[in-house]
């Protein structure tokens, strides 16, 4: 018995030593405060950016800020997920903060009207309160109180995402004017400055609440090794190519209900089909729905992370996928061979994507507004802009990671910088002006912006929640060589045609009744599942 206890004691001592000895021997880190001889300022940034981007911008900004001011700064990065998760996080944080402000500073009782209205851009604050409707008056008072306040969420900056998300955050009142537009007007008004629009997409907010600091497009990443195994000799170059039955079970796709960038990718596909239909939204929408269904049928999975698809394509776990351009280029860079070739490729479909802004903006109630403005100015300066696309080791370039992103400053596309850039052949400003008419892409928000949420719902119910039945139907169609009746039923998209989407699905999603939205999604999904089962039956019968 004593021997057993002694053995157990020695095992415990060994385990403790194994844990504590490396800690004791670890060299002491020198704090930024000690190295700078003073206190350390903290900047809190909420971002979907990956570790490489965070590392390069923190390293460069900390050095630049110390050189200019002699003070030390650290960045507290907050990464709550993709843009959809970030939006939910901000909504929750501002709701809690404003409720506390409303009850303890304004000394007002909390009501459902206050909760619904304080960050609702549809609530009009101009004009006198409506005496005959006290509920509307209360909503207006709540909205006015929020917009006058410095209610915050403990975060200084929102850095990264799409312009759609930033437009929404600005409209809600979560983003505020940081003063950069007034302080640095030459960045936005002089010749060669950042234009307000590019290909129909806004690059900065006229009220100074957000600024695009990098440019992004959407496209297709692919693995040439996997393509060869599948017998696909020509890599996909257009969205339609992903509907090829040879991709069955090999596509990496992202759930648009979880990722704003994925929703934008599908919107690009729809925009292209409407343009190819001569600008007829109804005809182009229907063709896009058929195309999305076939692409979804080829999916290996739908992930909730926009970064997973290019990772899996690079590793060979998927043949191809839809991706943001910089994720595709970054992963291609990561596996580049000494001879300059890579098994990972990326292409933006000609005429299939706009080039939009990846912005930054200051949040209401920022704990360190002056420091936040400094960081925004840095990201817009040449020093900060070079980090996006300069090669590692070049003067002013990144230290460790080639980010393979496109800077927003037009001046950095000058020929003299071509040898320093990772992608010297890419110039979004030149391409937007000199592209071939057949490849021109101008984003038309009136076509699809009102149906942005509807599109995500359609992909969810038509291709994700009904994935098993969809894949079985598609497999049967491919095996039976697309018999006419089964194929016609498979391509029938009347359940989600343009008029239905606009006049039935959109109002339902705009309703505050969440139960109604759940019932709508379930009804659509059940309808699609029944359709796919019938398609499979017809296909197996050869009809």
Name the pLDDT band for 222 (thresholds 50, 70, 90).
Answer: very high
Which residue did the predictor score with more confidence, 533 or 20?
Answer: 533
Q: Which of 337, 340, 308 has its CA nearest to residue 324? A: 308
**pTM reported for the whole predicted model:** 0.79
Q: How far is CA 459 from CA 258, 296, 354, 520, 529, in A?
A: 12, 8, 21, 14, 13
C-alpha span between 449 and 454 (Å, rounded):
10
For 242-263, the pLDDT digits (tens) are 999 999 999 999 999 888 888 9
| Residue showing tokens 């759930």 | 255
Predicted confidence at residue 33, as pLDDT, reads 44
Pairing of strands 40-46, 72-78: parallel
Q: What is the reported pLDDT for 8?
A: 54
Q: What is the pLDDT of residue 65?
A: 97
Q: How far apart are CA 394 and CA 421, in angstroms?
A: 9
**What average pLDDT does the segment 377-384 reach?**
97
Residue 30 has pLDDT above 80, yes or no: no
Instruction: Look at residue 130 in the predicted model and tell me its pLDDT.
Output: 52
Confidence class for position 120, pLDDT limits 50, 70, 90: very high
Confidence of residue 438 (pLDDT cuts 50, 70, 90): very low
- Which pLDDT score, from 0 to 100, does residue 440 have? 66
Question: What is the pLDDT confidence band of residue 510, given thresholds at 50, 70 and 90?
Answer: confident
15 pLDDT exceeds 70? no
Q: pLDDT digits over 462-478, tens only?
A: 999 999 999 999 999 99
CB atoms within 10 A of CB 171: 14
**Full set of structural domains in the chain with CATH:** 83-215+356-432 (3.40.190), 218-353+445-534 (3.40.190.10)
Residues 6 or more apart whose CB falls under 8 angstroms from that of 187 comprise 180, 193, 194, 380
pLDDT band at 515, cuts 50/70/90? confident
pLDDT value of residue 431: 75
Q: What is the pLDDT of residue 204?
A: 96
Q: Is residue 21 pLDDT above 70, yes or no?
A: no
Q: Grade residue 38 by pLDDT with cuts at 50, 70 and 90.
A: low
Please give the Cα distance from 183 to 128 (Å, whole number).
34
Token representation of residue 292: 């999305």
For the segment 120-142, the average pLDDT, to the nearest whole number, is 81
- What value does the mean pLDDT of the chain take? 89
User: Are 463 and 299 contacting, i.e. CB atoms less than 8 angstroms apart?
Assistant: yes
Q: Kindly report which listed range (37-41, 89-93, 308-312) carries the lowest average pLDDT score.
A: 37-41
Q: Give the pLDDT band of residue 454 (cuts 50, 70, 90).
A: very high
State the CB neighbour count (10 A cutoff) for residue 398. 24
What local confidence, expressed as pLDDT, does residue 433 receive? 65
What integer is the mean pLDDT of 73-81? 92
């Amino acid at each position: 018995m004593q021997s057993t206890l002694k053995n157990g004691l020695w095992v415990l001592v060994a385990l403790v030593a194994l844990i504590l000895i490396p800690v004791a021997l670890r060299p002491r880190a020198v704090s930024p405060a000690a190295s700078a001889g003073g206190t350390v300022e903290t900047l809190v940034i909420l971002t979907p950016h990956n570790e490489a981007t965070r590392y390069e911008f923190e390293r460069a900004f900390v050095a630049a800020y110390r050189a200019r001011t002699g003070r030390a700064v650290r960045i507290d990065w907050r990464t709550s997920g993709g843009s959809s998760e970030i939006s939910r996080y901000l909504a929750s944080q501002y709701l809690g903060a404003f409720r506390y402000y409303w009850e303890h500073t304004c000394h007002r009782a909390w009501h459902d009207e206050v909760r619904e209205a304080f960050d609702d851009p549809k609530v009009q604050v101009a004009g006198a309160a409506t005496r005959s409707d006290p509920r509307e008056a209360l909503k207006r008072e709540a909205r006015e109180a929020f917009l006058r306040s410095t209610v915050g969420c403990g975060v200084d900056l929102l850095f990264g995402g799409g312009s759609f998300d930033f437009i929404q955050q600005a409209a809600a009142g979560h983003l505020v004017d940081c003063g950069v537009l007034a302080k640095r007007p030459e960045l936005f008004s002089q010749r060669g400055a950042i234009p307000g629009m590019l290909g129909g997409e806004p690059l900065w907010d006229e009220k100074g609440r957000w600024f695009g600091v990098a440019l992004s497009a959407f496209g297709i990443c692919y693995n040439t090794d996997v393509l060869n195994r599948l017998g696909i000799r020509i890599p996909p170059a257009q969205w339609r190519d992903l509907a090829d039955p040879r991709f069955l079970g090999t596509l990496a796709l992202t759930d648009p209900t979880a990722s704003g960038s994925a929703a934008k990718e599908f919107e690009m596909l729809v925009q292209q089909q409407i343009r190819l239909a001569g600008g007829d939204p109804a005809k182009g929408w229907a063709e896009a729905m058929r195309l999305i269904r076939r692409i979804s049928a080829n999916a290996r999975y739908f992930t909730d992370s926009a970064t997973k698809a290019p990772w899996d394509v690079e590793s060979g776990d998927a043949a191809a996928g839809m991706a943001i351009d910089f994720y595709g280029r970054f992963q291609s860079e990561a596996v580049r061979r000494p001879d300059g070739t890579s098994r990972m490729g990326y292409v933006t479909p000609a005429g299939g994507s706009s080039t939009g802004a990846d912005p930054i903006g200051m949040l209401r109630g920022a704990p360190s507004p002056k420091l936040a403005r400094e960081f925004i100015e840095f990201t817009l300066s040449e020093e900060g802009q070079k980090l996006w696309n300069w090669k590692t080791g070049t003067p002013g370039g990144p230290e460790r990671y080639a980010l393979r992103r496109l800077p927003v400053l037009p001046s950095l596309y000058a020929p003299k910088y071509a040898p320093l850039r990772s992608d010297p052949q890419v110039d979004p400003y030149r391409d937007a002006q000199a592209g071939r008419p057949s490849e021109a892409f101008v984003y038309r928000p009136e076509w699809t912006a009102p149906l942005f949420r509807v599109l995500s719902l359609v992909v969810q119910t038509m291709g994700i929640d009904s994935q098993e039945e969809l894949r079985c139907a598609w497999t049967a169609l491919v095996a039976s060589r697309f018999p006419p009746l089964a194929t016609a039923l498979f391509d029938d998209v009347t359940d989600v045609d343009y008029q239905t989407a606009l006049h039935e699905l959109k109002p339902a999603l705009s309703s505050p009744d969440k139960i109604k939205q759940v019932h709508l999604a379930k009804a659509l999904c059940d309808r699609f599942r029944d359709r796919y089962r019938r398609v499979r039956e017809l296909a197996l019968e050869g009809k």
